[in-house]
Amino acid sequence: MKTREGVRIVDEAAVIARVRAGEPEAYAELVRAHTGIALRAAAALGAGADAEDVVQQAFVKAYCALGRFQDGSAFKPWLLSIVANETRNTVRTAARQRTLAGREAAFAEAEPLIPESADPALAMLESERRDALLAALEQLTEEHRLVVTYRYLLEMDEAETSQALGWPRGTVKSRLNRALRKLSRLLPGFRPEEGSGEGPERGKEGGEEHE
């Protein structure tokens, strides 16, 4: 599995093999390649001001667990599952709920900057849509919030989402469909990105309970 680090292509399998072979400094390539999306994930899932600490701890835990990493798997969803667990633990330990405003601010700071050439009106519209989506997500169950966050805020495909959340792909699909139906009621204008491959659920997934 390869991923982009700036303009370079990082061969994750090769880097992991080097770390396992006694070259720990090679791990820095994975850290550089995935820090951005890890920060976005932590912020979107509620880490707030602790996002950087959460991500740092997640990278440490991922490094310590590389011996158990399954060859041929993608590193990003595996890392983000650790980020999600660390975020959950941090929020529970702190025994506090992040305010919506704080979560929006942290998430915005972790996002790429809007190019100077962008139309200001379009940029404002996108910002308003994002804020409305985050507000609506607060009204969903944790499972539905997670699947929408991974699929659309973090732009992960169905297979990556399945790996990151530890759910079968059928469960990802059915929960996503239910979450999108709820979001469409909360946000009448909400539409997922084209090309996602997800459409309205047309029936109950086999073995999946009603939520």
Tell me the CATH number of domain 1-112, given options 1.10.260.40, 1.10.1740.10, 3.40.250.10, 3.20.10.10: 1.10.1740.10
Handedness of CA 158, 139, 135, 39 (dihedral sign): negative
* CB 103 within 8 Å of CB 43: yes
* CB 62 within 8 Å of CB 164: no
Handedness of CA 79, 142, 139, 196 (dihedral sign): positive
Overall residue count recorded for the chain in this entry: 211
Helix and strand numbers (H, E) in the chain are 9, 2
First to last CA, the chain: 34
Q: What is the pLDDT of residues 118-154, one digit of tens each?
A: 455 555 556 677 778 778 888 889 899 899 889 888 8
Q: Report pTM.
A: 0.69
> How far apart are alpha carbons 32 and 29 in whole angstroms?
5
Amino acid 54 reads V
Tell me the CATH number of domain 114-211, given options 1.10.730.10, 3.40.640.10, 1.10.10.10, 3.40.50.10260: 1.10.10.10
pLDDT at 153 (0 to 100): 82
pLDDT tens for each residue of the chain, 211 residues long = 555 544 356 899 999 999 999 999 999 999 999 999 999 999 888 888 889 999 999 999 999 999 899 988 899 999 999 999 999 888 777 644 445 556 666 666 665 444 444 455 555 556 677 778 778 888 889 899 899 889 888 888 999 999 999 999 999 999 999 999 998 898 887 666 544 444 444 344 444 444 5
pLDDT at 103 (0 to 100): 62
Domain boundaries, the chain: 1-112, 114-211
How many CA atoms are closer than 13 Å to the CA of 107, on its beta-carbon side?
A: 20
pLDDT at 56 (0 to 100): 96
Contacts of 75 (CB under 8 A, 6+ apart): 1, 3, 12, 16, 30, 34, 69
> How far apart are alpha carbons 181 and 203 in whole angstroms?
13
